[in-house]
Amino acid sequence: MKKIFLLGFLLLTVPLFASRQVSDRVIFNDRQYNTLSFPLEIYFETYPERRPEITHWISALTRGYIATFEVINNELILIDIDENFLNDYLWLGMKMAFFTGKINLINGEATGVNSGFMPIYQNYLVLEVREGVVIASYNLTAYEYLQSLIQAFPEGSSAQNHFIRLLEELNRRQ
C-alpha cells in the first residue's frame, strides 16, 4: 500500500517540478529578445570545472544564471550576468568565441499551441553564429520554425513526431 501511495504521489507531483526555463536575453539591433537558446551552456560543457556551484536551486532556472548578450559589430558579447555568478573565467564584455550555432529569439506573441513546457510563438528571429560572430539573421514564422524542427530530427523519431503533431495543431488553429 505504501508503494502505491508513493507512486501515486510521485506521478501527481512530478509535473509541479517541471518548469519552463527562464530565458537568457539578446540585444540585437537595439531591441531586446528572450532566447530559446543558452549560449553559455556550450562554454560549461567544454569547461565543466569552471561552472560555479549553484547555491539557490530554482526549478525554472536549473542552469543557475540569467545571461544577457548584445550583438555589437556582429559579435556576440556577454554584457550582463548575475553578480554572484561572475568568477575568474567569465567577465562582462567577453566575446562568445566558443559559441557556434543558432540562437532562436522569440519575436511575437504565443500562438496557443504549446510544446509541453514552451509555447510556440508567432515569429522567431534566428541568429546564426560562428565562433562568436553573427554571420546571418533571418525571421521564421511559427510554421517555418516547426518545419525546421521536424527536419532536424531523424525520420520517425519521437521528437520528429512530436513536432509534426504541433504543426498539425497549429494548422488546425489557423
State which residues form the domain around 39. 21-140
The string of pLDDT tens digits covering residues 107-133 is 999 998 988 767 899 999 999 999 999
Q: Does residue 117 sit within a domain?
A: yes
pTM: 0.78
Q: Is residue 44 part of a domain?
A: yes
Residue 125 within any structural domain of the chain: yes
The total domain count for the chain is 1
Residue 14 within a domain: no
Residue scoring higher pLDDT (99 or 3): 99
CB count, 10 Å around CB of 121?
A: 21
The three three-digit cell numbers of residue 46, written as one number: 567544454
In a domain, 161, yes or no: no
For residue 64, name the pLDDT band (cuts at 50, 70, 90).
confident
Angle between helix 142-152 and helix 158-173 axes, rounded to 10 deg: 160
Residue 131 lies in a domain: yes
Query: What span, in angstroms and rounded, lies between the C-alpha atoms of 62 and 97?
Result: 24
